[in-house]
Amino acid sequence: MLEADFKYIIDTFFAIFSMTLIIFMVPGFAMLEAGLVRTKNVTSVLTINVMIYAVASMAFLLIGYKFAFGSWDNDSMSKWAAFLFQMAFVGKTINIMSGGVSERVKIIPLMIFAVVMAAFIYPAIVNITWGSNFLSGTMFDISAMHDLAGSTVIHSTGAWALLAAIIIMGSRKGRYPKGGGIRVIPASNIPLVTLGALLLWIGWFGFNGGSVGSISSKESADAVALTIMNTNTAGLAGAIIAALIMYVRYKLFDITMILNGALGGLVAITAGPDLYDMYTPILVGIIGGTLVVFAVPVFDKLKLDDPVGALSVHLVNGIWGTLAVGIFVESVSFMDQLKGVVVVAVFAFTSSFVALYIINKIVKFRAEDDAQVEGMDVNECGVEAYPEFKRAI
């Protein structure tokens, strides 16, 4: 057998394996978010998650993929496998955004935005980073940024869109009462939150490991394994530091913060897990988890109402993780990383804001106050999540 054929076969298989792991993030996000919101909004959140996967993937198939990469052709693996791997990413940017506007966002305008994001905004960002790069040679060329699996390309992009969305939609009714202060709204189902976060964690192995792009040489096999190991290590460190901080401050182990700490570490490591030695990810994750714990109250003080903590996890750590590669890896320029962060920030925020603004003029994103009080499930889905269970509150 020709070595090229061997590589083609193995890398196709590996891309399918990685893609499958990433698809576990679909139930991952769905369970995480369904567990974090109130029971009256659970069906709505689940419906949104399923529909994002359906709508965004279809838009990427029909429009976005070719826009991002210039062509479907691929020599190193089956072009269908290459597509599947990239398709598994696209919904995530919208999941990040939709989670943060849970309990008030309406489904129809959100689906319109999902099409815009998956067909145009996200592919444009992929185009200038991992793709055919229409900015090549211009002053906005950011292809020198090292962002293996998307601390910036995926996580910051989704979170900048979320920031734009929160500004346009406002906070949930009752979250910031007129008298001042913040109304605590507890997560309704902690087993779902835990299951979801752990499925995301497992999906991350495919996300980052698969982003190495090949496993068919000794060097690439090593790179894949190191990438997955470092990814995991940063998650461990994020969870541990979040637990420690919570305990020191409150003498309590708050599992939602511990899991968000882990996710923060995972987001932060995503830019460069292939370039670190085996100890640096501990530091990246510790800082990532710490940032989550301290960012959550800051966003609340700014009255940016984000029920799942997505800004703290994905925006703060998307930026931190991308810059960290420039700090800890000698061969990577900090300025290149910073430039990438800034260019993507400006483009993702601006384009999302414009898209959201226009859509909002046509169909309001925000549900009416009384619909929010009654719950999105009854109003948008006609299906209660737990109809037989008596509510305590």
Nearest distance in Å: CB 329, a copy of itself: 17
> What gap in Å lies between CA 311 and CA 164, rounded to an integer?
11
Query: In terms of CB distance, is 302 or 374 closer to a copy of itself?
Result: 374
Q: Which of 70, 136, 138, 225 binds a copy of itself (CB under 8 A)?
A: 225
Nearest distance in Å: CB 218, a copy of itself: 5
Nearest distance in Å: CB 108, a copy of itself: 8
Q: Which of 221, 283, 304, 371 binds a copy of itself (CB under 8 A)?
A: 221
Specify the long-range contacts of residues 242-250, CB closer than 8 Å, at least 24 apart: 242/289, 242/290, 242/292, 242/293, 245/289, 245/290, 245/293, 246/293
> What gap in Å lies between CA 304 and CA 37, rounded to an integer?
16
Query: In terms of CB distance, is 207 or 349 closer to a copy of itself?
Result: 207
> What gap in Å lies between CA 63 and CA 61, rounded to an integer?
6
Q: Are 339 and 129 in contact (CB under 8 A)?
A: no
Q: What are phi and psi of 105, to 5 degrees?
A: -80, 145
248 counts as binding a copy of itself under rule CB under 8 A:
no
| Closest listed residue to residue 190, CA positions, set 101, 259, 96 | 259
Nearest distance in Å: CB 316, a copy of itself: 20
181 counts as binding a copy of itself under rule CB under 8 A:
no
31 counts as binding a copy of itself under rule CB under 8 A:
yes
> What gap in Å lies between CA 85 and CA 89, rounded to an integer?
7
186 counts as binding a copy of itself under rule CB under 8 A:
yes
> What gap in Å lies between CA 324 and CA 74, rounded to an integer?
32
Q: Are 140 and 343 in contact (CB under 8 A)?
A: yes
Mask: binding to a copy of itself, 251-290, rule CB under 8 A, as x and -?
A: -xxxxx-xx--x---------------x---x--------
Nearest distance in Å: CB 172, a copy of itself: 16
Buried b / exposed e over 382-392, threshold 16 CB at 10 Å, is eeebeeeeeee
- Other beta carbons within 10 angstroms of residue 174's beta carbon come to 12
183 counts as binding a copy of itself under rule CB under 8 A:
no
387 counts as binding a copy of itself under rule CB under 8 A:
yes
Nearest distance in Å: CB 282, a copy of itself: 8
> What gap in Å lies between CA 223 and CA 225, rounded to an integer?
6
Q: Which of 94, 240, 268, 355 binds a copy of itself (CB under 8 A)?
A: 240
Nearest distance in Å: CB 119, a copy of itself: 14
Nearest distance in Å: CB 350, a copy of itself: 29
Q: Which amino acid is at 255?
A: I
Q: What is the DSSP string of 42-77?
A: HHHHHHHHHHHHHHHHHHIIIIIHHHHHS-S--SSS
**Please, which of residues 283-322 interact with a copy of itself by CB under 8 A?**
none
> What gap in Å lies between CA 182 and CA 280, rounded to an integer?
37
21 counts as binding a copy of itself under rule CB under 8 A:
yes
> What gap in Å lies between CA 131 and CA 67, rounded to an integer?
9
> What gap in Å lies between CA 153 and CA 344, rounded to an integer?
7
359 counts as binding a copy of itself under rule CB under 8 A:
no
Nearest distance in Å: CB 7, a copy of itself: 9
> What gap in Å lies between CA 138 and CA 299, rounded to an integer?
35
Q: Which of 8, 130, 276, 365 binds a copy of itself (CB under 8 A)?
A: 8
Nearest distance in Å: CB 146, a copy of itself: 19
**Please, which of residues 191-210 interact with a copy of itself by CB under 8 A?**
191-192, 194-195, 197-199, 201-202, 205, 209
39 counts as binding a copy of itself under rule CB under 8 A:
yes
**Please, which of residues 48-107 interact with a copy of itself by CB under 8 A?**
49-51, 53-55, 57-58, 61, 77-81, 83-84, 87, 107
Query: In terms of CB distance, is 292 or 343 closer to a copy of itself?
Result: 292
175 counts as binding a copy of itself under rule CB under 8 A:
no
